[in-house]
Chain A
């Protein structure tokens, strides 16, 4: 489904992503974990076209997508959520989801039509908001939402794009325990006929959800495999907790 070959990114001499060969199998939920600064978000930005790689290739379904712009990658069926909540402050939740649904059509260019034409997305938008537990907030501006709800809206926006590949950057960060449980359920629900890659710090979420885990450190792949195996890998334990004193 998704493959990178020798993917690297330099920021003024600092190598944030270093020669990463990552393979994500179709239909799996794949987690990227690692300490802060390991290059997880940079890798996400590379995969979604927000930054261009210094070297290496990105392939989706064997097709090269290296160097495509974010909106082009989005139209290939790749949706992402942002780690730092990234919304349109003054637009309501409904308007957000309508915009996301409209993104796949060419209707966005229609400056001569009434914005009432966006209503045709309303039923679907309402359904998506309900799915992520935001049914009562359709008319609230996104700027006034609590943090956990903003995360939920991020998820709704990503789902609205009907992606075949869903990239979630810390989907549960800052969420309450109940919200996390619902998000885990939701990801389980939507995993059917799609592939999910997520960056996640909550190891319980990683353990519950994922088929495969890739551990990054200093921009390189440190370990990869099923959660149980990776969790007991001494290199991973060292990376997270430091050298054992004993």
Chain B
């Protein structure tokens, strides 16, 4: 059977299948602006990296951050300010913005990881609201409700005013970010993250300081969210309050759950679907974007909790009657009597 060949002994994808997927993914990324309106293609790429950044926390560590807009948004502003004030190549501006996001994430992580489950989500949301408030009030720097306008697309004097070319200029940053996420997941560190997700008390008994690991992955995740947010801001030429608003945090969670968290490919898929859907609805003049994406979210949670990618992987695997693939949704909210809440 072909699926048996494509899947390894342990129900994981074989090397052949993984490489094939990678090739398809890269080709898709390279071809995107040819068949999708280039600014929309750029949005998909930025959101895809953002969603994968969140997956490190949500899917691989079992932490639901409901405040990731804080990092996407703070980097959007910081990137914009650096680009406007210094005129440096936007790669440098994005890197600077991402570092700001990571620095901001450190104290937030230190205070949030002491909580788990819904409490963790609430604490991260509260911090994100605080950042929103600051961005709204600090008009001299952020432009308040007007947003930060006129972010330039500088890159060694190249003319990137056409979004089609800007997409290819920005794509390496996105792909690099995705590579970092993949490296983190498939590292000794990533193995510990999964252990923490599955059973934090056990991980501690094996000598792993769980909270320190959570802080580290939180900061990495915020940095990658910052890369995505920075690219997004340069792509649009402005950074607005929308970038730090809680709906942005919610949207990236929806992308993860729809696509299938804990799979890396799933959040990419989720980002593509949500961005395209929003674009389609907006062009069609339908205002009820929230209702449509909200309904899709509810249906996903009710009918296929593994998300699209997770469900397909599960179906392919169960046909072989092999071991079940990773399904974080089922393992996460288990009572852990010995863990502090």
- A residues lining the B interface (CB < 8 Å): 45, 48, 50-51, 69-72, 74-75, 79-80, 82, 86-92, 95, 98-100, 102-104, 107-115, 117-118, 139-141, 143-144, 157, 161
**Bound complex: CA A115 to CA B327 (Å):** 20
Chain B residues contacting A90 (CB-CB under 8 Å) are: 194, 198, 324, 326-327, 331
Q: Is the CB of B9 within 8 A of A69?
A: no
Known: A89-B331, A114-B186. A99 touches B191 (CB 8 A): yes
List of B residues within 8 angstroms of A117 by Cβ: 188
Question: Is the CB–CB distance between B202 and A108 below 8 Å?
Answer: no
A111 with B220: in contact, given A74-B204, A144-B323 (CB under 8 Å)? yes
Query: What are the residues of chain A within 8 A of B208 when measuring CB–CB?
Result: 71, 103, 108
B116 at the interface (CB under 8 A from A): no
- Contact in complex: A74, B207 (CB < 8 Å): yes
The stretch of B29-37, B142-150, B209-217 in contact with A is: B209-217
Asked if residues A157 and B194 are in contact (CB atoms below 8 Å), the reply is no
Q: Contact check, A102 vs B204: say whether CB atoms are below 8 A apart.
A: no
Residues of chain A contacted by B152 (CB below 8 angstroms): none
- Given the known interface contacts A108-B188, A118-B188, the answer about A161 and B194 at a Cβ–Cβ threshold of 8 Å is no
B338 contacts A71, C-beta separation under 8 Å:
no
Q: Which residue of B lies closest to A95 (CB)?
A: B191
CB A134 to nearest CB in B, in angstroms, measures: 16
Query: Given contacts A70-B204, A91-B194, A139-B9, are A86 and B199 in contact (CB under 8 A)?
Result: yes
Whole-angstrom distance between the alpha carbons of A79 and B202 in the complex?
Answer: 11
Q: Is B187 an interface residue (CB 8 A)?
A: yes
For A89, A92, A144, which residue has the most chain B Cβ atoms within 10 angstroms? A89
Min CB gap B227→A, angstroms: 16
Cβ-closest chain B residue relative to A92: B10
List residues of B (326-341) whose CB comes within 8 Å of A's CBs.
326-327, 331, 338
Q: Does B104 contact A (CB under 8 A)?
A: no
Instruction: Tell me if B201 is interfacial: C-beta within 8 Å of chain A.
Output: yes
* 8 Å CB contact of A110 from B188, B198, B206: B188
Q: Tell me, rounded to whole Å, the shortest Cβ–Cβ distance linking B340 to chain A.
A: 10
Tell me the number of A-to-B contacts counted with CB atoms below 8 Å.
118
By the criterion CB–CB under 8 Å, are B10 and A71 in contact? no
Within 8 Å by CB of A115, from B10, B190, B217, lies B190
Q: Is the CB of B188 within 8 A of A113?
A: yes
B189 & A108 in contact (Cβ 8 Å cutoff): yes
Q: B residues within 8 A CB of A111?
A: 183-184, 187-190, 216-217, 220
21 cross-chain CB contacts under 8 A? A71-B205, A71-B210, A74-B206, A82-B201, A90-B194, A90-B327, A91-B195, A95-B191, A98-B191, A99-B192, A103-B207, A104-B207, A107-B188, A108-B189, A109-B189, A111-B189, A111-B190, A113-B187, A114-B183, A114-B186, A115-B188
Closest to B212 in A: A109
Nearest opposing residue in chain B for A51, CB measure: B338
Task: Determine the distance from Cα of A104 to Cα of B206 in the docked complex, in whole angstroms.
Answer: 8
Q: How far is the CB of B158 from chain A (nearest CB, A)?
A: 31
Enumerate chain A residues within 8 angstroms of B187, measured Cβ to Cβ.
110-115
Instruction: Tell me, rounded to whole Å, the shortest Cβ–Cβ distance linking B301 to chain A.
Output: 21
List A contacts of B209 (CB < 8 A): 69, 71-72
- CB proximity of A28 to chain B, nearest CB, Å: 22
Given A45-B338, A108-B192, A141-B324: A87 in contact with B199 (beta carbons within 8 A): yes
Give the docked Cα–Cα distance between A70 and B189 (Å).
19
